Chains A and B, each alone.
Chain A
Amino acid sequence: MSDASHDSVQSGPLTTADGKPLKAALASAQAHRTRRAFYLVAPLLFFVVITFLMPIGQLLTKSVNNPAFYSWQDRDTGEKIPLMVDLRAWFDAHPAGTGPDEAAYAALVTGLVHAKEVKAQGQIGTRINYEVSGSRSLFTKTARKADKLEPPYKEAVLDVDKDWDDPKLWNSMRNASKAFTIDFYLSALDRTRDDSGNIIKADEERAVYILLFERTLVMSALITFITFLLGFPIAHLLATLPLRHSNLLMIFVLLPFWTSLLVRTTSWIVLLQSQGVVNDIWVSVGLISDENRLQMIYNQAGTIIAMTHILLPFMVLPLYSVMRPIDPSYVRAARSLGATSWTAFRRIYMPQTIPGIGAGGLLVFILAVGYYITPALVGGSTGQLISNLIAFHMQNSLNWSLAAALASLLLFAVLLLYWLYDRLIGIDNLKLG
C-alpha cells in the first residue's frame, strides 16, 4: 500500500490532498495573498490617483492646452460648443505667415456672430489678450457689431477697428486655435513670438520668470544651508544630552512646529518691522540711531529669516533621528588613537550623519522651493518667489495655463534636483526618522 502510493508520487507530478497539482495550488494561494494585499492598499492607491496623479495630469494638460478660443462650455448644461469653426479651417488651409485675406475676415465675422449668440466673445477676447494686450475689448467691441457687418468683410472689420490688421494678432489667433501649444511655456521662460512666429526673447521690462526661478532656487539653497548650520548643533545637543534635559529642549523645537504658520510669520513682522521689537531694543541701547532703523522685513532678508525659522524643525528632526543611535564610543576610540577633536568629528562623526543631512536638506529645500504664504506676507518686492507669481496668475490675471506652465517647470526642476541627488548621494542613503 505504502509502496504503491510511493510509486504514484514518483511517477506523476506532486498533488495536494484534493488532487490539484501542487505547483498550481501554490500559485493560486500566492495570487490570493497578493490580491488581498492589493485590496488593503487599494484605498490608498485610489486616494493617490484622485488627489495627486490626476491633478498633476490636469496641470500638465492645462499648460499645453487652452481651448478658450475654439470651444465654449455652457455652464448650465455642460454642453461643449465649438467656436470659430470657419476661421480654424482657414488657418488649417493656409500656412503660417499668410496674411489674412477676405475669406479669413469673413470667417472671423461668422465666428464672432456665433460667439456673440452664445456669449463667448469675452472668453475668446480674454484668451487672445494673454498674448496681445488690449485685444479683449477689440473682440467684444467687434462682436457687438458683427451681425451688422456687410461684405467686403475685410474693409468692414478694419472700419470697426484698424488694429485688426496687426499680424501679431493673427499669429496669436492661429496659435490659440491649435489644440496643443507650447506658448505658455515660452511665456514662462520669458520668451515670446515675433510677427512671423519666430521665438524671441521677451522685452527686458517684462522678463521676470527666469529671474524668479533663479532667485527661488538660490534662496531655497541658502535657507537650506542656514537651517543646516543652525540645526546641526541643536540636533547634536538633543542627541547627546541626558533624556531629561533633551526632552525639554525637544519641546522647544517642536512647539513652533505645532504653531500655525501664519502666527509665526506675523510674529516675525511684529519683531522685525522698523517700529518693531528688535529695532526698538537696538535704538534704546544706542546700537543704531532712531533715524536709521534697519529694514529687516518686507524684503529678501525678511523672507530668509522667517522661512529659516519655519523650516528649521524639518532639518533638526531627521538629523536628531540619525544622531541618536550613533555610538559615542567611536569618537572616543578615534580620540584615543590620537585624532584631534576636529578630526574625530570630521572623519568619524560627520560621515555617520550624512543620511540625516541628506534627508533634512532635501526636505527643507523642496518645501522652500514651493513656499508661498511667508514670502507673500514678508517678502515685499525683492523677497517674492516664483510661487507668488503662480498665485498671481491663478487668482488675479486668471491665466491658469500660464500658472500651470510655471508650476510644471517648478515640478520638473525639483524632479531634476531629486534625480541629481540620487545620482550623487543615492536616495537609499536617506533617513527620515
Chain B
Amino acid sequence: MKKTLILTTALAGFAFSAAAEEITVMSWGGAYGKSQIEAYHKPFMEKTGIKVISVDADNPATPIKAQVEAGNVTVDVVDVEYADAVRLCDEGLLEEIDPSILPAGSDGTPAMDDFLPGAVTDCLVTTIVFSTMYAYDMEKFADMAPTTIADFYDLEKFPGKRGLRKSAKANLEMALMADGVPAGEVYDLLETDEGVDRAFAKLDTIKDSVVWWEAGAQPPQLLADGEVSMTTAYNGRIFNAAVGEGQPFGSVFDGQVYEYDGYAIPKGAPNLERALEFLVFATETEQLAEQAKWISYGPARKSSGPLVGLYQDGKTEMGPHMPTSADNLVNALPSNFEFWADRNTDLNERFNAWLAK
C-alpha cells in the first residue's frame, strides 16, 4: 500500500512536471489495469496523441481526499467503486460530470438509456460491473468441488485456509447468504443489529482459518502459492489467472455480490479538459466492449453487450464468465451503494474491533 502510494506520488509528480499533453489515470493495477491500458489508454493515445500515464493503488478512492484537501491533485482520472464515488461526491471531492457530454450508443440509443440503470451519477460514469465471488483450488478439491456460498464456510467438508478481503463490505453480505439468508433480504437484515451480529457470528466460524487480503492481485497469488484453498476475489482476476494463465482455479458465483465501478475526476484535476475527453472516449460503446475482451467484467452500456465476443486468446467465450450472465445471477446480490455509503464507517469500525480480538 505504502509502496504503491509512494510510486503513485512519484510517478504522478513526474507526470505533472513533464508536459501538459499528458493525463494520469489511477486504477487498481494487475489484470484489471492491463485491460484498461489495452482497451482505453492505447487507443486514446493513438487517437489524440495525449499520453496516458497509469498509476496503481490498492483502492484508488483512498488517496483522493488527501490530494484534494492538500490542494495538490496529481491524478486526472480515478477508477473507483460506486459506493465510494457516492461518498466522495457527497463530500465535494469529485468534479461533477455533465451527462450530456456522453455520446449515444453505437446503435443510436441515447446515452442515458444505453447505460445500465443508475450507472451515470453526478460524479461517476460506470465502466464495468464486477463481482466479489469466491474461487477454489481445483487440485485440492478434485473429488468434490464446492458449489455454494455455504460450502465456503464449511471447513469440515472443504478443509483448508480461506482468503477474505480485509473489509466489512461484501464479507457481511456473503456471510449472511452462507447462513441461508435469501439475497433479497440481506440488506434489510443488515440494517438491524441482530443481522450484523448474525453476520459476524458466521464470520467467527472461520475466523481462525482466514488469511486477509487487501489488494485485488493478492487472492490469485494466495491460491497459486497454496496459502489458501479458497478465497473471495474479484471475478476478473480469477478469470485471468484461470483462463489467461492456465491456473487450476474454479469459480463459484453462488452468493456473489456484484457492483458498478467506473471513472471519476478528482476536484481540481490538473488537466480537467483532457480528463473529460478521456472519460468520454473510454466509456463509448466500442471501448467498453473491447475491455471485456481482456477481463471478465460486464460492460456498463447495453449497446456494448452484443459486441462482446471472445477472450483475447480467440477461443474462450466471455459470456458465461461475466458476473451478469443468467447462470451466474441465480443467487446473486447487487451491492447496495446507499447502504455502504451510510454504514461503511460504522461497520468497518466494528469489523476492525472484531478483527483485533
Contact = CB atoms under 8 A, between A and B. Distances in A.
A75 B211 contact: no
B268 interface: yes
B87 A298 contact: no
B13 interface: no
A383 to B, nearest CB: 10
A352 interface: no
Looking at A75, A140, A372, A380, which has the most chain B CB atoms within 10 Å of its CB?
A75
Interface of B: 1-3, 59, 62-63, 65-66, 68, 87, 89-92, 161, 166, 197, 200, 207, 210-212, 225-227, 267-268, 338, 341-350, 352-357
Contact of A125 (B90, B225, B347, B356): B90
Contact of A206 (B65, B212, B353): B353
Contact of B211 (A298, A376, A392): A298
Given A298-B212, A380-B211, A396-B348, A129 B354 contact: no
A389 B91 contact: no
Nearest to A127: B91
Interface size class of A (residues with CB under 8 A): 35 or more
B356 A394 contact: no
27 contacts: A122-B89, A122-B91, A123-B91, A123-B92, A126-B90, A129-B342, A129-B346, A133-B343, A133-B345, A133-B346, A134-B346, A136-B342, A137-B338, A137-B341, A140-B90, A205-B350, A206-B353, A208-B349, A208-B353, A215-B356, A262-B2, A273-B225, A298-B211, A396-B62, A396-B348, A397-B349, A398-B87
B353 A207 contact: yes
Interface of A: 75, 119-123, 125-126, 129-130, 133-137, 140, 205-208, 211-212, 215, 262, 273-275, 298, 372-373, 376, 380-382, 384, 389, 392, 394-399
A75 B267 contact: yes
Interface of B, helix, strand, loop or mixed by DSSP: helix
B1 A274 contact: no
B348 A392 contact: yes
B65 A398 contact: yes
Contacts of A389: 352
Contacts of B346: 129, 133-134
B62 A120 contact: no
B21 to A, nearest CB: 24
Contacts of A397: 344-345, 348-349
Contacts of A211: 353, 356-357
A130 B65 CA distance: 16
A379 to B, nearest CB: 9
Looking at A135, A137, A215, which has the most chain B CB atoms within 10 Å of its CB?
A137
A409 to B, nearest CB: 16
Nearest to A124: B90
A384 B355 CA distance: 9
A126 B87 contact: yes
A126 B344 CA distance: 11
A208 B357 CA distance: 8
Given A133-B345, A137-B342, A381-B212, A275 B226 contact: yes
Given A206-B350, A395-B63, A134 B355 contact: no
B94 to A, nearest CB: 11
A382 B212 contact: no
A184 to B, nearest CB: 13
Given A208-B356, A275-B227, A381-B210, A75 B348 contact: no
B356 A75 contact: no
A418 to B, nearest CB: 26
The 7 closest A-B pairs by CB, nearest first: A122-B90, A133-B346, A208-B353, A395-B62, A381-B355, A397-B345, A275-B226
A262 B5 CA distance: 13
Contacts of B353: 205-208, 211
B1 A376 contact: yes
B172 to A, nearest CB: 13
B9 to A, nearest CB: 14
Given A208-B357, A275-B227, 10 more contacts: A122-B87, A122-B89, A137-B338, A207-B353, A208-B352, A211-B357, A384-B355, A396-B59, A396-B62, A397-B349
A404 to B, nearest CB: 13
Nearest to A205: B350
Nearest to A215: B356
A120 B341 contact: no
Contacts of A136: 87, 90, 341-342
Nearest to B122: A119
B227 A273 contact: yes
Nearest to A386: B356
A205 B354 contact: yes
Contacts of B68: 75
B356 A120 contact: no
Contacts of A205: 197, 200, 350, 353-354
B59 to A, nearest CB: 8
Contacts of B345: 129-130, 133, 397, 399
B188 to A, nearest CB: 14
Contact of A134 (B343, B350, B352, B354): B343
B354 to A, nearest CB: 7
Given A275-B226, A392-B352, A398 B91 contact: yes
Given A125-B90, A136-B90, A275-B227, A212 B66 contact: no
Looking at A130, A206, A212, A394, which has the most chain B CB atoms within 10 Å of its CB?
A206
Contacts of B62: 395-396
Contacts of B89: 122
Nearest to B161: A274
A128 to B, nearest CB: 11
Contacts of A275: 225-227
Nearest to B222: A273
Contacts of B87: 122, 126, 136, 398
B227 to A, nearest CB: 6
A178 B207 CA distance: 42
Contact of B268 (A75, A119, A273): A75
A396 to B, nearest CB: 6
A81 to B, nearest CB: 12
A136 to B, nearest CB: 5
Contacts of B357: 208, 211
B198 to A, nearest CB: 13
Nearest to B268: A75
A134 B210 contact: no
A14 to B, nearest CB: 60
B66 A262 contact: no
A144 to B, nearest CB: 12
Contacts of B227: 273-275
